[in-house]
Amino acid sequence: MVKRRTIGGGPESALLQGDCIEVMASLPRGCADLVFADPPYNLQLAQELRRPNNTRVDGVEDGWDRFDDLATYDRFTREWLAAARDALSDDGALWVIGSYHNIFRVGAILQDLGYWLLNDVVWRKANPMPNFRGRRFTNAHETLIWAAKSKDSRYVFNYESMKALNDDLQMRSDWYLPICGGAERLRDAEGQKLHSTQKPEALLHRIIMASSRPGQLVLDPFLGSGTTAAVAKRLGRRWIGIEREARYVEIARERIARVVPVEDASLLEVKPKREEPRIPFGWLVERGLLEPGTQLYAPGRRFSAKVRPDGTLVSVSAMGQFRGSIHQVGAAVQGAPACNGWTFWHLDVEGKPVPIDVLRQKLRAELN
């Protein structure tokens, strides 16, 4: 029986060799804020795969991906997912990646164990391996499941960061990224892959940025060549990587040692808008950032309104006279059910429209 570790002040970053189920059982309960798992897929390959020219495809033929039957694989999956859930904090979350061979079985077991499914994400590969036999569609994607420890978990989701990564558009659940290749792919002196299922750093960058904060602990039970730990270190997260195979441990250790973390901690700070201090519009009037009587305009100057001393607006148009908050008046002049007045109303600054939200951000910065 593995004894559970008690580490004063919480665990620091570490690469641990051993069986992931046993090692996770030894970790302090609730120590991890995020788990990323790339478990064996149980590909069930009966024979080696060859191209039309009879050259051998360098696929996944490793012993660690083979199980006697589906019942054995399910038992293994249940055990490691249970151990990972025990290691997660109450507000922690888990990402697990797989293919059609295993992801549906993993998803069912996740729900059986009490995880709360948040999203399934399709990683659409920009450069997938062709289907050489021509008997099926080209397998051009893998599936990730994002799950909270429970339905009551207050999991981390850095929405604004994901939106920024996507050119200021909401991040969708289909991700178009290339598979690991080029200089990023780790190879030996003969040019052979050092790990058959090395994941691209771009994939882990997105996951860690989306679901954790600087200083939090990221746990990877199947560390392999060390991608999760390398990205976590670069992004200022603590990490624990577990790997059974000695050759992978050495590869990962050397790789992680070469990583230089972001030095300026302020660059890593992510503060969701909902956590920023609330700024009532009236405060802008009180502090002289907007004078009573100032004229505000809708985009394209379709509507206008004047600022009143009490922080409300009054708008007179062919539709009538409206008084109320910046949101109420913005909705009323449009005949809309709701309106974000901060982005709807603009100031005229040297002939150019500037949203009043600029003043809110200025005041917010002064108060922080």
> In this structure, are 266 and 288 located in the same domain?
no
351: left (phi > 0), else alpha (psi -120 to 50), else beta?
A: left
Mean pLDDT by 10 residues, the chain (368 residues): 48 91 96 96 60 48 73 95 98 96 96 98 88 82 97 95 90 93 85 85 96 96 95 96 94 94 81 73 92 94 94 86 95 94 93 92 80
> In this structure, are 242 and 123 located in the same domain?
yes
> In this structure, are 29 and 134 located in the same domain?
yes
Residue 3 counted as domain residue: no
**What CATH number does the domain containing 257 carry?**
3.40.50.150
Nearest to 332 by CA among 342, 344, 319: 319
> In this structure, are 197 and 335 located in the same domain?
no
How far, in Å, are 132, 177, 197, 261, 336 from residue 126 at the CA level?
A: 18, 6, 16, 28, 42
How far is 223 from 204, CA to CA, in rounded Å?
A: 12
pLDDT score recorded for residue 57: 43
pLDDT score recorded for residue 51: 41
324: left (phi > 0), else alpha (psi -120 to 50), else beta?
A: left
Contact 74, 113 (CB under 8 A): no
Task: Mark which of 259, 274, 289 sits at the end of a domain.
Answer: 274
β-strand partners of 16: 242
Tokens of 9: 């002040």
Beta-sheet strands, E only, within 149-221 = 174-177, 217-220
> In this structure, are 217 and 135 located in the same domain?
yes
What pLDDT digit, counting tens, does each position of 3-41 carry?
A: 555 443 456 899 999 999 999 999 999 999 999 999 998
> In this structure, are 300 and 264 located in the same domain?
no
> In this structure, are 119 and 204 located in the same domain?
yes
> In this structure, are 161 and 301 located in the same domain?
no
Specify the pTM. 0.72
Residue 328 counted as domain residue: yes
Residue 52 counted as domain residue: no
What pLDDT digit, counting tens, does each position of 246-263 carry?
A: 999 999 999 999 999 988
What pLDDT digit, counting tens, does each position of 36-92 carry?
A: 999 998 876 555 544 454 444 455 566 656 778 899 999 999 999 999 999 999 999
β-strand partners of 50: 56
How far is 113 from 36, CA to CA, in rounded Å?
A: 17
Contact 96, 39 (CB under 8 A): yes
Residue 157 counted as domain residue: yes
Contact 65, 41 (CB under 8 A): yes
Q: Containing domain of residue 201, as a range?
A: 14-45+57-274
Contacts of 329 (CB under 8 A, 6+ apart): 305, 312, 313, 314, 315, 322, 323, 341
Three-state DSSP at 229 gives: helix
β-strand partners of 353: 348
> In this structure, are 155 and 300 located in the same domain?
no
Contacts of 254 (CB under 8 A, 6+ apart): none
Residue 343 counted as domain residue: yes
> In this structure, are 165 and 74 located in the same domain?
yes
How far is 97 from 144, CA to CA, in rounded Å?
A: 4
pLDDT score recorded for residue 267: 82
Count of domains forming the chain: 2
pLDDT score recorded for residue 342: 95
Task: Mark which of 214, 247, 274 sits at the end of a domain.
Answer: 274
Element (H, E) at 70: helix 70-87
Residue 304 counted as domain residue: yes
Helix count and strand count (H, E) for the chain: 11, 14
Tokens of 132: 């050489």
Residue 183 counted as domain residue: yes
> In this structure, are 230 and 352 located in the same domain?
no
> In this structure, are 297 and 314 located in the same domain?
yes
Tokens of 235: 């992004």
Three-state DSSP at 147 gives: strand
Residue 198 counted as domain residue: yes
Contact 37, 97 (CB under 8 A): yes
pLDDT score recorded for residue 91: 98
Task: Mark which of 274, 290, 319 sits at the end of a domain.
Answer: 274
Tokens of 236: 């200022």
